[in-house]
Amino acid sequence: MSDGSGWVEIVLLALLAAFIGLRLVSVLGKRTGQERPIGDAFRPSAEITAPARRETVAPPRGKLVLPPGTDRSLLPALEAVADADPGFAPDRFLAGARSAYGMILDGFWSGNVDGLHGLMSDEIHANLAAAIEARGGAALPNRLIGIDSSTIQGADVVTQMVEVTVRFATRVATADGETQSIDLWTFSRLAGSADPAWVLIATDNEDDSDQMPPDHLGDASTAD
């Protein structure tokens, strides 16, 4: 009797297993072996590609505007400066050069150039300081009456430096009266530097020596 009941239990379990198997097939479907493993939905498929990298391209330089009185033959040289130093604009440069011109002359005439280190090279500063010392440190009565004109006379790119020369036509009051002077000053800066300052690196004078005012800056500085 017990043997008969055992067979009944085995048959019932077999039927139950078959029933569960049929239900699983109907709910989950048949696996073919080609199914994507669990978790693949979170990985990019072969068809998805990363966006292309954008190369950083500097915006094209605008047309260079020459200040009034500038010789147009200087345009290629000034464009070369602007290409090397993207922040360069001739009109803004000239405005700064005029300001530096007045400040340096005032400092030299007053006998105090200590605060002008950022406006000139060490060599120019040493030359001015030596000239002031040679006259006993005394101040001069000179005064800049006005700058009649300031025009760019030359431009160049020297390795990593850019250089621009300016011609200043000025009127100066001295102890002997008013006199006129024409100075050639060359300014330089490191191309592309975050520091916008230009420094004076050389000076010259177009006037004859007997027409230059006493202790004019051109007498105390260097020229190329």
Residue with the bigger pLDDT between 214 and 89: it is 89
Q: Say which residue the tokens 């500097």 belong to.
A: 58
The answer on pLDDT for 16 being more than 60 is yes
CB-based burial label for 132 (10 Å; 0-12, 13-18, 19+): buried
Structure-block tokens of residue 100 = 């530096």
The predicted-structure confidence for 164-190, as pLDDT tens digits, reads as follows: 999 999 999 999 999 999 999 999 999
Banded model confidence at residue 63, pLDDT cuts 50, 70, 90: confident
Architecture field, domain 72-220: Roll (3.10)
Neighbour tally for 2: CB within 10 Å = 5
Residue with the bigger pLDDT between 193 and 19: it is 193
The closest of 202, 201, 223, 205 to 215, measured between CA atoms, is: 205
Range of lowest pLDDT (186-190, 211-215, 217-221): 211-215
Banded model confidence at residue 45, pLDDT cuts 50, 70, 90: very low
Distance CA 138, CA 115 (A): 17
The predicted-structure confidence for 101-157, as pLDDT tens digits, reads as follows: 999 999 999 999 998 989 999 999 999 999 999 999 999 999 999 999 999 999 999
Q: What is the pTM of this model?
A: 0.69
Q: Where are the domains of the chain?
A: 72-220
